[in-house]
Chains A and B, each alone.
Chain A
């Protein structure tokens, strides 16, 4: 755990307490059971907004608290632990896109609403099942945008889409010319293909040539934060289980083969935490972000992949049941691994950044 200042510690403790008490995994089960395509609890999201979590990276002049990315990451990690279903990450990323590339008018128009939770935002980038921002066909002509975006996270609740087109990023509000086609994924959260058919689009003209990459790096790092919370929870749950489950008249935790597997996972978790926190710190310092973001998401992919598999295996049969939570982490893990950069995509990007 990074060394935190007092403000950050308070924020983390508040998030932990809220997630544990108000948003345990049973709340996700309720969302799932409701069958609503939106797949999050509006009341819970309202609470988050009241606590200021939607405005952590938004400047104070636009209604945020400007606490920085490490702070945002701390909250997201805690929510990841309990699989809290919310559009917090996507809204934060949409806000980041506007902070980076928006005009004064765009900032004044959207940031206060995103900060207050009145408006929900999301990113609409990819046009296929695999993340690849180099393959974008969506185009804008005369202020009207057309194209279809695949597997957009939190699309059903979104009021504002940050959309990648052939000539940059655009802001598109839900409404005329925006239609959703639900894609039910294994994590049972909100995903949809979103078709823009001549919808009004407002260009994010600032931020330079690297705006799309910069926004995606933020998405990668914040997604990695959710994954970190999940990996930590799977690890803790599995360790607890091994300490109480008795087989052959012995507690499983006493078996050296299992101890060494847990030691391996503990080492991996330490690496993942460093990589993710390194990403957040890079954002806050504004230095080496592309490389840090790539390491953060690649390590999150690698470690959560192993952790989620081992978590189920080490639980034995009970890990296979829907009644037990651990399977939810496995399913959500794969969705997040495939989002904003698979492992092979990130390795390629890392090599390119390194000039090989």
Chain B
């Protein structure tokens, strides 16, 4: 992906800050202040209110939802310094970035790197404008952690591929417009027989069935492809190059999944803040249960250390100009700590923290339960913790393949 790293002289950045402020004053609706991006995740359908739509369109038209992406494809074309200023000003105004989802986090950066000129021109601008939702067609019933075992075939029919097979764990599949998909174009070679194909979800022969999860939510789907015709121009890279492209995309995914992320946002407060509300305090204002207090401090120290690690990885990868090798470490640690955090929170709340629905539970208590259960997926999807361990051992530490 093309990046512009040159720093602007100070007077130019001051002018840029002023430009951002003016833009926010003109376009950011007051009523969205302090709200988050409802469309960023994959948890729900895409209904937008009028102010949300206007805000998304304004940011999308400017390219500032994807600030560092090249301008020629609809990105903001900003350098890092300007992107940082944009973020600062958004935060100051209580505004959020209305553009997001898998198109921004995973697919876009990968297509910018591997896609043809025509593909970039076709697919990147709608992502920048937040008009198209992408889902990921990687996993299959027998190709989860052993992803290269995937069996969905794309048969060469001259001007198109004919796709048959089943994908699973398709996040947000029922709400997605398009799917970036790994398919098998050659049965004779496990890795080099895989290609990276883009499929319209409304093509005839595509069927999605939401899977109900232990959390009660259904953010994942099974996706079936029966004789789905996909135009040849939807192949990204060369035929057989899918494994390489797919792995690159997974690096973006890991970095994004590790963030301490969705659970922290859902639950908002620190563990100790919650503990102070639910647990008995002694006369000095300290948590009276000293064992619990010790465990909370232990957790928060490691959590602080993890957040610093995420920040360090960002700084290092910016300086090195690419996704950090540490992405597997972040995914492994962030998801584990996120789960630990959710377990502590429900433990602190006692049975009050285990409500399923109905009277007697606050919204945040119920959300906490769902987040705790949903969070169990985080160490399984996006490459399980065990797979991350294999990646770290082999690729980062150079330990040899076990036989």
Contact = CB atoms under 8 A, between A and B. Distances in A.
Given A264-B389, A344-B294, A355-B272, 13 more contacts: A253-B399, A254-B399, A256-B390, A263-B390, A263-B393, A266-B397, A270-B309, A270-B329, A271-B309, A274-B306, A298-B301, A356-B276, A356-B287
Interface in B283-312: 285-287, 293-294, 296-298, 300-302, 304-306, 308-309, 311-312
B297 A266 contact: no
Interface string A243-278: 100000011011110111011101100111111011
B151 to A, nearest CB: 25
B185 interface: no
A246 to B, nearest CB: 12
Interface stretch (A190-198, A319-327, A346-354): A346-354
A253 B397 CA distance: 10
A77 interface: no
Nearest to B316: A3
A250 B293 contact: no
A339 B85 CA distance: 43
B403 A271 contact: no
A275 B285 contact: no
B304 A355 contact: no
Interface in B201-223: none
Q: Which of A254, A273, A277 has the most CB of B within 10 A?
A: A254
Interface residues of A, number: 44
A33 interface: no
A295 interface: yes
B315 interface: yes
A129 interface: no
Nearest to A257: B402
Interface in A58-98: none
A262 B332 CA distance: 13
B312 A243 contact: no
Interface residues of B, number: 45
A175 to B, nearest CB: 42
B393 A259 contact: yes
A3 B302 contact: no
Contacts of A2: 312, 315
B331 to A, nearest CB: 10
A50 to B, nearest CB: 32
Contact of A347 (B270, B297, B333, B388): B297
Given A254-B402, A266-B396, A271-B309, A299 B301 contact: yes
Contacts of B389: 259-260, 263-264
B302 A271 contact: yes
21 contacts: A2-B315, A3-B315, A3-B316, A239-B399, A251-B400, A254-B400, A259-B393, A259-B402, A263-B397, A264-B389, A267-B329, A267-B332, A270-B329, A347-B294, A347-B301, A348-B297, A350-B300, A351-B286, A354-B297, A354-B300, A356-B275
Q: Which 4 A-B pairs have the closest CB atoms?
A: A259-B393, A263-B389, A274-B308, A274-B309
A56 B308 CA distance: 25
B394 A259 contact: yes
Contacts of A295: 301, 304-305, 308
B319 interface: yes
Contacts of B306: 271, 274
Nearest to B303: A295
A3 B319 CA distance: 7
Contact of A262 (B308, B311, B333, B397): B397
Contacts of A1: 316
B401 interface: yes
B403 A250 contact: yes
Nearest to A348: B297
B312 A277 contact: yes
Given A295-B301, A299-B301, A356 B399 contact: no
